[in-house]
Structure 1
Amino acid sequence: MYKLTAYTIACLLISLDARSVPDNYNEERRALLDEETITAVGGKINLNEDENKANDVLMRWKMRELNDSYINPQHFNFSKHYFSYKKDIEDSKVYQIIRRMPKGAVLHVHSSLMLHADMLVKLTYEDHLYACHTYDDLKLQFSETTPERPCQSKWTLVSDMRNSSGDPAAFDSQLKKYFTLYREDGEDFNFVDINTVWQRFNKVYYVIKSLISYRPVREKYWYATLEQFYNDNIMYIEVRTGLHGLYELDGTQHDKKYLVELFKNVTNKFIEDHPEFIGVKLIVTKHRALSINQVFDALNLTRAVKAEMPDMIAGFDLVGQEDIGRPLTDFLPVLSEARNDINFYLHAGETAWLGTSADENLVDAILLGSKRIGHGYALTKHPSLMSAVIKKDIALEVNVISNVVLSLVHDVRNHPLASYLAMGLPVVLSSDDPGAWSARPLTDDFFVAFMGIASQRADLRMLKQLALNSITYSALEDEGKDRLFKVFSKRWDTFVKDIISDKSFSEIDFDRNID
């Protein structure tokens, strides 16, 4: 066997030292990286002088915080569940910057799960609210007299329960747990299977639905929701809703169209109070577990409401857990027939499986002409479908925190959004059901996407492009889009100047080694 002597090793080292990197290597390396930067979402945006200054502030804080997380992953680690670091993110300067940023529109959110749990608890202070309460279940109903609906325990006025508890604050804290999946005690959701999480999620939905089906409370709920979204710098919303009926205190029932009128009237009142808010459109939904006749009826309802209030209706979608729900192929006859007069915004590919009917909903969403695809989580596994999405310019409504909470992904750095952003796909960030996890309407999703998923090099250009995408791919008519672009531009300029002038963002040790 050949043995290396000390002399031979020295000669090899001298030979290696004598070698040099080809003259054009660094240029080619830089050219490849530059090409990736230009291809990525936001890569073609040119920042003006003020934007570059604001970007410098943003990126210095981003690199400092990322470096801190590398050194101290126990404090801030995107491989952990969102709930484990949720309380800490508000201390982040990057989070504070993003919170101030105008975000354009929210295009994927469900109407009953938009409002923070703290606000829902406040709504339980309304008069005449009864509760049917067991250890793991809660039903709510407003009534002049004790409700006649079956109850496993006993219908009791919530006001009486709160007053007799001896500690109203503790009572409200326990009540809040029925309105959100989030637990401050840090329960480890990483090891909860997807079906169990969905079961818990559905329980939260039904409790909230029982609270806001009372017409006066729904009005207050909707105004408070708009206010919460507006305060998160959102100027337009497209809301998915099943158009469930509402009732009055005397038991009078309203038809499903009444809810559309409520959305419109309360939104108009909100616009009077906040003139820069553009408005709301509805995407009518039906649960994918239901029959084809029920979906057919929902499509006809969508047609009828659109004919009466065309400014309020964006289109139609099927909702619910895809893995155990019926695939789009089951509804092809009625969906195909309706596609010429109703726009689709279909959930598709909200699954971690490959080759299943849920995964292949992506195929049908594309073929049915869906204007946008809800989630599209599985798209990276389908190169042909990804090409079709790019060619047809179908926007992907990505909901990062929802995908974490509902157990599609555990370490967000592995989220397919990283690929979508790098490839420059038409992505819009949304929040799905922020109230169900006590998140801010959109800031939390932007922050996690920017810090935990996007390239370390992603900067203000990406954030701006994502906001612009939400306007471009909205269902607004051209006039509405133009107005929203103008509002966004005005607010963006103000935001940039605020970041530059705010001394709390400039107080940083720039001598630290942060590349």
Structure 2
Amino acid sequence: METSRQVLILVLLVSWPNFVETIDVTSDDWLTKFPEEFKWDEDYENARNEILKNEQQWRFGSHQTLTSDDERLNKIYVKEKKSRLEKGYGDETLYRPSLYFLTHGYNNRPTNKVYKILRGLPKGALLHSHSTLTQDLATYPELLLSLDNCQLCVNKTNKQYRLHYFNKGVRDNYVEDHNCEECPKSSDAEYNATLKNLRAQLSMHDGVDYSVKDIQTIWKSFLSKLNPQMGAVSTWHVFQEIFTATLSMLVEDNIQYAELRAPFGYKWDKNGTKIPQEQVLEFMQKQIELYKKNHPNFYGVKFIFAMSRGVAKNKDLKRSLKTANDLSKQSDLVRGFDLVGNEETGRSLNYFQSTFLKFRSLPFVFHAGETLWTGFDVDRNVLDAVLLGTKRIGHGYALDAHQYVLEMIRHREIGIELNPISNQVLGLVNDLRNHRNKRLLDSTHKPGVFSKKSLRFSVNSDDCLIFGTRPITDDLYMLVMAMTHRDSDLRVVKKMAYDSIHTSLLNSTEKGELKSVFEAEWKRAVKELRKASELNKIL
């Protein structure tokens, strides 16, 4: 088996397109003038400026163009951004991106021009978010309590909530060892207390200081946040409301398109009758088309079939791959496949490589490298993801420890899905200025070993409901304020949107259509934001 794997890897590398293409690092393609050519005593300032200029040319967004309208808004944006950074440089207690989001983010969002400009601009595509967790923490708990047949079930031992919407005696296995009562109405005395407790149990905003917890403790709490709505998402009338709320949240954050990870579990009505998958897919398609009709700046949603790596065995994987393939034949909504969950405690991609190598029906978009470890299967997931042909890398936090793999990613233009706030909350980094993917952004256009292609990125939220974030705006704000250079500007924002479209699973025709939708909305939003800013109405 080991010999066959070595042969496979050798074949993949030898046959790599343009594998022998290299860059002469002493040529003008690399540096305009190589530093050693300067006479330091005479040309120190020139050498220094030349090096800074070339560093700037390597950074993400540096090659993106802006229109004259863009430039006018850009002046306002850059002025405000630098002002915020300089205040933070003088007093880090004023610098929000260095602080912990759970403490300083959700209940205290920025009100400055940078955030408001980012909020108003179109974002392109959201490529890394989980379907039932793409919800607004401010309104979602109220929605759940308001739905028909709602029962609030409290665990007899740990007092944890579980919402149940089936009729009595139907699928009661969800609420064994729970005491169930009808959900309180907004007019009831206990409603506000119940709402507060439910919000805490659905999210990491529960009074615990996770910034001082170890990663596995954080993950254990994170997974517990899925419990309150475990039965809710499988109840047909509830699911329909949840999905509609997801679409609304995407539109409100000016996102043109999304590819959501979804488990595609079965749905039942409140009497226990199973809903055919065809009916579920048809409902989602109709809702998407309705939102596209009502919101011309919205292109739609596709899905990535998601399977948990925590309990998976090869036979389970084969079954899930077959289900995903069958669904993709029923509807073009299903576009890819992924393994989700805690990489450190779940199965590695290498464990499943023999099964994955036999399956080529759907594109892979793997979570990979969401870890601080180096030299283990968990960080080597980035290598196996690339060898298995992934179209994108989810998180990729360990990518900087695998420089050869990074060059392969650059050459194949495999998208890197950034999730800064998720990485912070789940314990990989406290201060986002130390985020390891920051170095990848700084070397986006650095000439590669195999080709001159640039790295491709998207910015994402991962789990809005649990973290209390918006689908893109909050993470985008943290990225531009903590993970990019002081002098970076709207080129970063525009380039991030274009990269998200480029690395989506849409075909070339669909990408062209989405790009047109994005560009029309960008043009409209820039003019509106510029006028509002110049009149100080954005303050």
TM superposition score normalised by structure 1: 0.89
Kept in 1: contact 2:400–2:437 (CA 8 A): no
- Does 2:43 correspond to 1:24? yes
Secondary structure at the residue paired with 1:249? Answer: coil
- For residue 285 of structure 1, give the secondary structure of its aligned residue in structure 2: strand
Q: Which amino acid aligns with 2:314?
A: I
Q: What pairs with 1:232-243 in structure 2 (closer than 5 Å)?
A: 232-243=253-264
Bigger drift between 127-136 and 256-265 goes to 256-265
1:151 aligns with 2:176: yes
Residue aligning to 2:122: 102
Once the 2 structures are TM-superposed, how far is the Cα of residue 208 of structure 1 from its aligned partner?
Answer: 2.6
* Contact 1:314/1:343, CA 8 A, preserved across alignment: yes
> Is 2:515 the partner of 1:485?
yes
Cα distance 1:218–1:504, how it changes in 2: closer, same or farther (>3 A)? farther
8 Å CA contact 2:166–2:235 kept in 1: the answer is no
Q: Judging changes above 3 Å, is the alpha-carbon distance between structure 1 residues 503 and 372 closer, same or farther for their aligned structure 2 residues? A: closer
* 2:268 is aligned with 1:247: yes
Matches within 5 A, 1:208-357: 208-256=229-277, 258-289=279-310, 290-309=312-331, 311-339=332-360, 341-357=361-377
The residue number in structure 2 matching 1:392 is 412
Give 1:91 shift.
1.6
- The Cα offsets for residues 400-443 of structure 1, whole Å up to 9 and x where unpaired, read as 11101111111111112211111112111111111111111110
> What is residue 461 of structure 1 aligned with on the other side?
491
Please state how far the C-alpha of 1:211 moved relative to its aligned partner: 2.2
SS at match of 1:265: helix
Distance of aligned partners of 1:257 and 1:326 in 2 relative to their CA distance in 1, 3 Å threshold: farther
Match of residue 525, structure 2, among 481, 491, 495: 495
- Is the contact between residue 399 and residue 406 of structure 2 (CA under 8 Å) also seen in structure 1? yes
In the alignment, does 2:159 pair up with 1:140? no
Q: Which amino acid aligns with 1:293?
A: K
> Would you say 1:203 and 2:224 are equivalent positions?
yes
- Once the two structures are TM-superposed, the CA of residue 262 in structure 1 deviates from its matched residue by 3.3
Paired position in structure 2 for 1:61: 80
Q: Is the 8 A contact 2:202 2:228 kept in 1?
A: yes
Please report how far the alpha carbon of residue 388 of structure 1 lies from its aligned counterpart in structure 2 after TM superposition: 1.0
- What is the distance in 1 between the residues matched to 2:335 and 2:159? 37
Q: CA deviation at 1:298?
A: 0.5
Contact 1:287–1:320 (8 Å) recurs in 2? yes
Is 1:181 the counterpart of 2:204? The answer is: yes
Superposition deviation, residue 64 in structure 1? 0.9
Tell me, in whole angstroms, the C-alpha distance in 2 between the residues paired with 1:46 and 1:500. Answer: 18
Which residue of 2 is the match for residue 11 of structure 1? none
What do the CA deviations read for 1:320-371 (whole angstroms, capped 9, x no partner)? 10001111111112100003x2210011101110011111111110100101
1:87-126 mapped onto 2 (5 Å cutoff)? 87-121=107-141, 122-126=143-147
- The alignment yields a C-alpha RMSD, in angstroms, of 2.1
Task: State the distance in 2 between where 1:46 and 1:307 align.
Answer: 40
2-side partners of 1:363 and 1:438: how far apart? 32
Aligned-partner SS, 2:379: coil
Amino acid at match of 2:319: D
Match of 1:411 in 2: 431
Per-residue CA distance 1:161-210 (angstroms, 9 max, x = gap): x766x242232122211221124x5x422101111211111111232332
CA shift at 1:503, angstroms? 4.0
Q: Is the 8 A contact 1:41 1:462 kept in 2?
A: yes
Equivalent residue number for residue 22 of structure 2: none
Describe the shift of the 1:334–1:259 C-alpha distance in structure 2 as closer, same or farther (beyond 3 A): farther
Query: For residues 373 and 338 of structure 1, what CA distance do their matches in structure 2 show?
Result: 18
Using the alignment, how far apart are the partners of 2:220 and 2:210 within structure 1? 13
> Where do 5+ consecutive residues of structure 1 fail to align?
1-19, 509-515
Q: Over residues 121-165 of structure 1, what are the superposed CA-to-partner deviations in whole Å (9 max), with x where a residue is unaligned?
A: 2222112111221344222211233654353241211137x766x
Contact map agreement 1:146 1:155 (CA 8 A) in 2: no
SS of match in other structure, 2:231 = helix
Alpha-carbon separation, structure 1, partners of 2:370 and 2:70:
36
The offset of 1:107, in angstroms, is 0.7
Which ranges in structure 2 are unaligned for 5 or more consecutive residues?
1-38, 445-454
1:172 aligns with 2:195: yes
Larger radius of gyration: 1
Cα deviations across residues 64-91 of structure 1 (Å, max 9, x unaligned)?
1112222332233433311122033332
Are the counterparts in 1 of residues 84 and 95 from structure 2 also a CA contact under 8 Å?
no
- Counterpart of 1:154 in 2: which secondary structure? strand
Work out whether residues 499 and 505 of structure 1, in 8 Å CA contact, stay in contact via their aligned partners in 2: no
Deviation at 1:237, TM superposition (A): 0.6
Amino acid at match of 1:207: P
- One-letter amino acid of the counterpart of residue 156, structure 1: E
2:99 alignment counterpart: 80
Q: 2: distance between equivalents of 1:412 and 1:242? A: 30
Report the residue type matching 1:159 in the other structure.
P
Q: Are residue 371 (structure 1) and residue 391 (structure 2) matched?
A: yes
Alignment CA distance shift 1:34-1:293 (3 Å) = same
**How many angstroms does 1:484 deviate by?**
1.2
Equivalent position SS for 2:151: strand
Q: Secondary structure at the match of 1:358?
A: helix
1:155 alignment partner, SS class? strand
Aligned to 2:477: 447
Q: Which amino acid letter does the alignment assign opposite residue 316 of structure 1?
A: F
Q: In the alignment, is the contact (CA less than 8 A) between 1:243 and 1:259 conserved in 2?
A: no
CA contact (8 A) 2:184 2:191 kept: no
Percent identity at matched positions?
Answer: 29
Offset from partner CA, 1:437-462 (integer Å, 9 cap, x none) = 11111100000000011111111111
Residue pair 1:93, 1:505 contacting (<8 A) in 2 also:
no
Look up the equivalent residue of 1:250 and give its one-letter code.
Answer: N
Deviates further, 294-303 or 262-271: 262-271
Query: CA separation in 1, counterparts of 2:127 and 2:145?
Result: 29
Inter-partner Cα distance in structure 1 for 2:70 and 2:41: 37
Q: Given the two structures, how large is their TM-score scaled by the length of structure 2?
A: 0.85
Q: Deviations over 1:224-244 (max 9, x none)?
A: 111111111101010111101
In 2: Cα distance, 1:205 partner to 1:80 partner: 26
The number of residue pairs the alignment matches comes to 484
Deviation at 1:396, TM superposition (A): 0.5
Give 1:285 deviation, angstroms. Answer: 1.3
Does structure 1 retain, via aligned residues, the 8 Å contact 2:132–2:242? no
Q: Does the CA contact (< 8 Å) of 1:39 and 1:422 recur in 2?
A: yes
Match of 2:467? 437
220-229 vs 30-39, greater mean Cα deviation = 30-39
Query: How far, CA to CA, are the matches of 2:530 and 2:148 in structure 1?
Result: 48
Instruction: Decide whether the 8 Å contact of 1:142 with 1:249 is kept in 2.
Output: yes
Q: What amino acid sits opposite 1:145 in the alignment?
A: K
